[in-house]
């Protein structure tokens, strides 16, 4: 897919968009979904449309969800406020974008050296995470749900090679969420921006490097055209959860069966979205290397060690946050990470290491 097919966000129609009170006639509702993505952007843009369609279908048309891409009603980074204020009924984005609202929100999306995609959902469902998620977003009049995950993200696209920690000092680097705080502690100049602006900034030299998601989405955005060094592992975001935020008043107004429809539509997409990313990332990586000359490189061990120290500082600062809820979220995350991480040493980690040793038989 060529990047120009979806970079033309429908901004031309933004001024003409007229918002109205949702129609509720014969038990039917028309809901607006605003997203942080260009329409049908491989990965999150596709997942957003899947969610809109699934809610509409599972509700038997009683909730008709119409998707508006970034820029059609509000900018991508404006979707949280749009749903909080009732301009739209729901949004599709990632928690990593809302750190200005509360640092505690960032833990629900991704964490440096944190949870894998399955562990993130496990924390929500079985480790007390959803109750804390509800409490935090309730402050803003939003009912939140996780509805997908990109899986392990990459360390990023670099215009030049990285051979030591010193090479990162002063580097202008696009990232987001808690990963940006880790990068800052490493001496990097962290920049927050969307995928299309990141391409332009790399092209002009306004950025030296940046990470967005992974091979599938990144190749569609064309980053390989302006930076050939693709580094792993993405320890800043071992996974990145996608979320649906629903206006709390609109959700409360729904009858119980439709509340279940929205809930199950979100939860049922988590695994299909995650596994699609995994499959298409793998396919895209092969193409990036074989057809576009991308150089896949591992971060030096001393860089990973330094990132681990910086990431630990980030989490420690959250533990000392002035907001009591942020502290509770952080302690819950740490407890679940350590519990499941200890088990994974014997389970998934052991299996993956054993499999890697015999690959190609």
Is 17's pLDDT higher than 50?
no
The first and second tokens of residue 264, run together, are 């199950």
Output b/e per residue, 254-290; b: 16+ Cβ within 10 A: beeebeebbeebbbebbeebbebbbebbeebbeebee
pLDDT in tens, 315-331: 999 999 999 999 999 99
pLDDT in tens, 79-137: 999 999 999 999 999 999 999 999 999 999 999 999 999 999 999 999 999 999 999 99
Q: Is residue 110 part of a domain?
A: yes
Q: What is the pLDDT of residue 359?
A: 84
Q: What is the pLDDT of residue 152?
A: 96
Closest by Cα among 243, 248, 250, 244 to 29: 250
Q: Is residue 138 part of a domain?
A: yes
Distance between CA atoms of 176 and 191, rounded to whole angstroms?
Answer: 8
Is 155's pLDDT higher than 80?
yes
Count of CB atoms within 10 A of residue 141's CB?
A: 17
Q: What is the pLDDT of residue 26?
A: 73
In the chain, DSSP finds a helix count (H) and a strand count (E) of: 13, 12
Q: Is residue 199 part of a domain?
A: no
DSSP state letter for 234: -
Q: What is the pLDDT of residue 248?
A: 98
Task: Please state the separation of Cα 122 from the chain's center in Å.
Answer: 17
Is 7's pLDDT higher than 70?
no
Beta strand residue intervals within the chain, DSSP E? 24-25, 28-35, 63-68, 90-93, 142-149, 156-158, 172-174, 189-191, 209-210, 229-232, 241-247, 295-298
Strands 209-210 and 172-174: parallel
Q: Is residue 234 part of a domain?
A: no
Q: How many residues does the chain have?
A: 361
CATH number of the domain to which 253 belongs: 3.40.190.170
Mean pLDDT in residue range 165-172: 97
Is 222's pLDDT higher than 80?
yes
**The model scores a pTM over 0.85:** yes
What total number of domains does the chain contain? Answer: 1
Q: Is residue 223 part of a domain?
A: no
Is 18's pLDDT higher than 70?
no
Enumerate the known binding-site residues for substrate.
Answer: 153, 174, 211, 237
Phi, psi angles (nearest 5°) of residue 30: -110, 115
Is 190's pLDDT higher than 80?
yes
Distance between CA atoms of 128 and 325, rounded to whole angstroms?
Answer: 13
Q: Is residue 235 part of a domain?
A: no
Mean pLDDT, the chain, whole residue set: 93
Enumerate the known binding-site residues.
Answer: 153, 174, 211-212, 237
Enumerate the known binding-site residues for Na(+).
Answer: 212
Q: What is the dihedral of CA 256, 273, 229, 198, to 10 degrees?
A: -40
Is 76's pLDDT higher than 70?
yes
Domain extent, residue 50, equals 4-152+240-279
Q: Is residue 196 part of a domain?
A: no
- Count CA within 13 A, CB hemisphere, residue 125: 14
Q: Is residue 91 part of a domain?
A: yes
């Amino acid at each position: 897919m060529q990047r120009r097919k979806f970079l033309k966000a429908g901004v031309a129609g933004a001024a003409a968009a007229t918002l109205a009170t949702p129609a509720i006639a014969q038990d039917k509702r028309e809901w607006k979904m605003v997203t942080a993505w260009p329409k049908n952007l491989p990965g999150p843009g596709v997942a957003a449309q899947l969610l809109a369609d699934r809610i509409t279908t599972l509700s038997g048309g009683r909730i008709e969800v119409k998707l508006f891409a970034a820029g059609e009603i509000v900018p991508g980074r404006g979707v949280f406020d749009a749903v909080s204020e009732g301009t739209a009924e729901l949004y599709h984005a990632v928690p990593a974008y809302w750190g200005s609202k509360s640092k505690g929100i960032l833990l629900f999306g991704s964490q440096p050296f944190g949870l894998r995609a399955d562990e993130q959902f496990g924390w929500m469902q079985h480790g007390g995470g959803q109750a804390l998620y509800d409490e935090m977003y309730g402050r803003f009049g939003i009912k939140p749900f996780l509805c997908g995950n990109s899986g392990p993200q990459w360390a990023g696209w670099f215009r030049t090679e990285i051979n030591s920690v010193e090479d990162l000092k002063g580097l202008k680097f696009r990232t987001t969420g808690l990963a940006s705080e880790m990068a800052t502690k490493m001496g990097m100049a962290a920049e927050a921006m969307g995928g299309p602006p990141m391409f332009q900034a790399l092209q002009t030299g306004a950025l030296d490097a940046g990470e967005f998601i992974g091979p599938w989405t990144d190749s569609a955005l064309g980053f390989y055209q302006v930076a050939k060094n693709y580094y792993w592992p993405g320890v800043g975001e071992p996974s990145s959860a996608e979320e649906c935020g629903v206006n709390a008043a609109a959700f409360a107004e729904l009858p119980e069966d439709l509340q279940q429809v929205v809930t199950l539509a979100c939860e049922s997409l988590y695994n299909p979205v995650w596994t699609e990313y995994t499959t298409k990332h793998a396919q895209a990586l092969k193409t990036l290397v074989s057809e576009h000359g991308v150089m896949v490189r591992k971060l030096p061990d001393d860089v990973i060690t330094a990132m681990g120290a910086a990431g630990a500082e980030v989490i420690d600062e959250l533990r000392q946050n002035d907001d009591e809820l942020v502290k509770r979220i952080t302690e819950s995350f740490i407890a679940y990470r350590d519990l499941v991480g200890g088990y994974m040493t014997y389970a998934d980690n052991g299996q993956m290491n054993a499999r890697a040793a015999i690959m190609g038989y």
